[in-house]
Amino acid sequence: MSRGFGCIGVVTLCSLGFGQIDEEYSKKIREYTTEPFFLTDLVDTLPSSKTVPTPEKYLGYVVGAPNVLTYASKCADYLRELEKKSKRVKVVSLGRSEEGREMVVAIISDEANLENINRLRTYNHFLGDPRDLFNYKRGEKMASGSSPGSDPSDWSDRDRKADEIIDKALPFYWATGGMHAPESGPPEMIMELAYRLAVSETPMIKEIRKNSVVMLTPVLDVDGRERVVDLYRYRKANPDKPEIPLVYWGHYVAHDDNRDGMTLSLQLSKALTKTWLEYKPLVFHDLHESVPYLYISTGTGPYNAWVDPILIDEWHMLAYNEVNEMTKRGVPGVWTHGFYDGWSPSYGFMVANGHNGIGRFYETFSGGGADTGIRSSVSSSTRDWYRPNPPFPRVRWSIRNNVNVMQSALLTGMYKVAHERKTFMKNFYLKSKRSILKARAEGPAAYIFPADEKHPDQQAMLLKLLMAQGVEVHKLTRPTLLKEGTFLANSYVVRMDQPYSRMADMMLDQQYYNPNDPRSYDDTGWQFGPLFNVSTIRTNDTKVLDSAMELTTDFESVKGPGQGISARIALVHTWTSTQDEGWYRLALDQLGVNYKYVSVHELRDTADLRAKYDVILMPPGGGSAQSIVNGRPMVGDPMPWKATSEYPNLGGPDTSNDIRGGIELEGVLHLKKFVSEGGLLICVGNTCQVPIDYGIVNGVSVFEPADLNAPGGVYRTLNSAKDNPILANYGDELGAYFNMNSLVILQAGGGGRRGRGGGDNGRPSGRGSLTDPDIVQGRPPYTPKSLPGDVPESRNTNAPRLPSPKVLLRFADEDKLLMSGMIDHPDELAGKAALVQCQVGKGNVLLFSINPMWRMQTVGSYDLLFNAIRNFDQLNEKPVDKKG
Ligand SMILES: [Zn+2]
């Protein structure tokens, strides 16, 4: 009974003495755990069942067994087996991935709760959209969500009805694994947790079942998971061969699949959001792996400034409770605060935070597949005010440790939410109510999308995206006078007296991130109006709420930019980084733009590129010019990336018998020839360095800032070439995405010198202001006078000159540069080139310092690419016709 002492003050959580134990399974749990302090009383045994198979009976091994990982499809099969054998489990499909694999969720609760699941969902809808509480007594129907209602006098009646519902409602708690394919533990753990929740009779589990509904998704990136399991099996079967790298995770992007929470362009984000809106689970908890041993999300701040402070309190309440329960049980290295900031709403768990639920995540220590061994973790093992019981610098670690630690803490969280269900459900109601009151309380009242928008397609795309987020869009039926001016009929209105006003506000508002705040974990700015290049007017005039308008949903026919392109496009990827180019593929696929997806080897192996392609597009991907040109080192045996009968999930979206090598010098020559013969080469960010460093272009250099800090935000660029076809339909300025950490700053002119200089470096230190002339002491000012017969000051040598690079977009002056996000030392970016066109022979190289296709957020910049592609053979000035 000595373990019982671990349960100080939480006796109800102990598992001893309730039902039969599966002794064999439990023995293996202990065997696979490397140290006693990585095991708790919550998971040190597994209950047995006469009817429901344990994971071991179904899979042939215990969850967390060394050297074995389970395919996503098998995880789902096991949950379906549980559904067959237990009335407490129901499995629902979430839909399919880009490559056609299924994502699932198991819904687990008491038999009675599962029978009443639709009624419980209806309660969630009433609490999540309190406007509909007016209709509550007229039958508990699903929320229709169409009745604006922020009149404060209504609320006493609604509050009373809400309290009646809260008495009967249950919190839903949704935990998800496998968002990040190489993070291998959570999918395994979820299978054991599902079994435990279905069969265990401990008071703790019974309370979770009785007073909550648990939703479990073992794998979100099902495509990536199958590749990872294949690679792990290959590694174990071929210990002497070099490891095959995980070239692709999901079909489009790697870890950025957790940055799609606003734009909902990947199948997994669409599935999460749709299912969240259908069930409204109070908690959405995404399970990740990285730092030791268990990090529980709260973050360093600055916290997202658009969510309700009640939510931030909830993050802390849950996190500190879990840290405390784990610490009491003697588990070291469980901590919160630190790690990430809590600012950007792009993460998957924002599906709950953006809709008045509670979004959170764990980072559990990773073991590298299912390996066991010594692992060091110096960076996160220091004692700090938020980490009084830190991880050890070195530890013997196993995947079973990962399963134990994560599962114990997760059960603690689920128990708290079930045990204090009324508090949490009341908070859910309050957050929803305060989102509706927002329009007349803190404001704004609404965002207006004017009817005379210059880019109606992009406007419609943004409104459609807001609707996918569950936001209602209205249309003015009459011209309406507000403080900001008169808005025409048919202008769109996003009212802030609706339950998901905060999601709309955080996407449409302007963001300011103070450079003195802790280092940002991701982008600091994402304001969708500028990034879509459409007008969004934030109004505090509450008159808009009483203006004549109707609900609208009519954006289905929108096609978006890129229609009617016939140029032959090659989209080039490296074999070293396929993440950022994935967003290009995704954008082009969704807009229906045809292209051929090729690797750098196509450039190496194709002598006549011009015969095959009109445009070669090289998206950013990390690495220097040298690493792109050289590629993976040509050492050892060929390294294939393709499916075999033994490893059917390898390969794809591109496939190769040997991924070693890069563009190579041959490829650079092929590229130069391609451009000289009239092709258009488009480079973005780091790939600009290939034509610059290898001399395909002249007069452009990469500027390396000394102090600039601009880690991903919206920056103002100025149109400096209005007559250029690439800028057709653009105005004087454009809000563009730039990130100094993943892109490069271009400098046109000045001889192509790398480093500082080449431009205006100010004046010598001396008397007066920045603009005063310098004065040398001890001599009068001097201005030379020219006499007849002198040679002219600038001599025309008649030497032929290369065409100069043209700066098409330039970063604005330092005081105007920042639109949304963060910038420090803006002087280093101000005035630099954002988009440069270099004529080379009959063709052109287009160099982007901004990223025109980033995370499906930069729709307003897409036409920079599409205009260039459409006009690839019309970009050069016609030579002056000399008639003799
Ligand atoms: Zn992760």
> What's the 363 CA to ligand 1 centre distance in angstroms?
7
> What's the 180 CA to ligand 1 centre distance in angstroms?
5
| Predicted pLDDT at 879 | 58
> What's the 290 CA to ligand 1 centre distance in angstroms?
7
> What's the 184 CA to ligand 1 centre distance in angstroms?
10
> What's the 286 CA to ligand 1 centre distance in angstroms?
9
Give 827: exposed, middle or buried? Use CB within 10 Å, 0-12, 13-18, 19+: middle
> What's the 751 CA to ligand 1 centre distance in angstroms?
44
Give the three-class secondary structure for 557: coil
Tokens of residue 851, six digits:
């990223």
Class in CATH terms, 2-369+399-435: alpha beta
> What's the 182 CA to ligand 1 centre distance in angstroms?
8
> What's the 741 CA to ligand 1 centre distance in angstroms?
20
CB 354 within 8 A of CB 502: yes
Q: Cα Rg for the chain, rounded, in angstroms?
A: 30
Q: How far apart are CA 313 and CA 309, in angstroms?
A: 6
DSSP conformation letters of 632-668:
B---SS---BS--SSSTT-S-SS-BS--BB-SHHHHH
Q: Which CATH superfamily is domain 569-757+803-870 in?
A: Class I glutamine amidotransferase (GATase) domain (3.40.50.880)
Q: Which residues pair with 713 in a beta bridge?
A: 738
C-alpha distance from residue 206 to each of 12, 116, 422, 532, 673 (Å): 10, 17, 17, 50, 72
Q: How far apart are CA 34 and CA 118, in angstroms?
A: 44
Distance from CA of residue 854 to its chain's centroid?
10
- Dihedrals phi, psi of 234, to nearest 5 degrees: -60, -45
| Predicted pLDDT at 766 | 78
Q: Where are the beta strands (DSSP E) in 670-828?
A: 680-684, 700-703, 713-719, 733-738, 745-748, 806-811, 818-820
- All residue ranges of the chain with pLDDT < 70 are 1-17, 134-154, 750-763, 770-771, 878-884
| Predicted pLDDT at 764 | 78
> What's the 720 CA to ligand 1 centre distance in angstroms?
41
- Dihedrals phi, psi of 191, to nearest 5 degrees: -65, -45
> What's the 779 CA to ligand 1 centre distance in angstroms?
67
> What's the 149 CA to ligand 1 centre distance in angstroms?
40
CB 213 within 8 A of CB 204: no
Q: Where exactly are the structural domains of the chain?
A: 2-369+399-435, 440-552, 569-757+803-870
Residue of 864, 620, 538, 639 lying closest to 731 (CA atoms): 864
> What's the 361 CA to ligand 1 centre distance in angstroms?
9
| Predicted pLDDT at 762 | 58
Q: In CATH terms, are 2-369+399-435 and 569-757+803-870 the same topology?
A: no
| Predicted pLDDT at 138 | 41
> What's the 686 CA to ligand 1 centre distance in angstroms?
25
| Predicted pLDDT at 799 | 80
Residue of 199, 238, 192 lying closest to 65 (CA atoms): 192
> What's the 362 CA to ligand 1 centre distance in angstroms?
9
> What's the 539 CA to ligand 1 centre distance in angstroms?
38
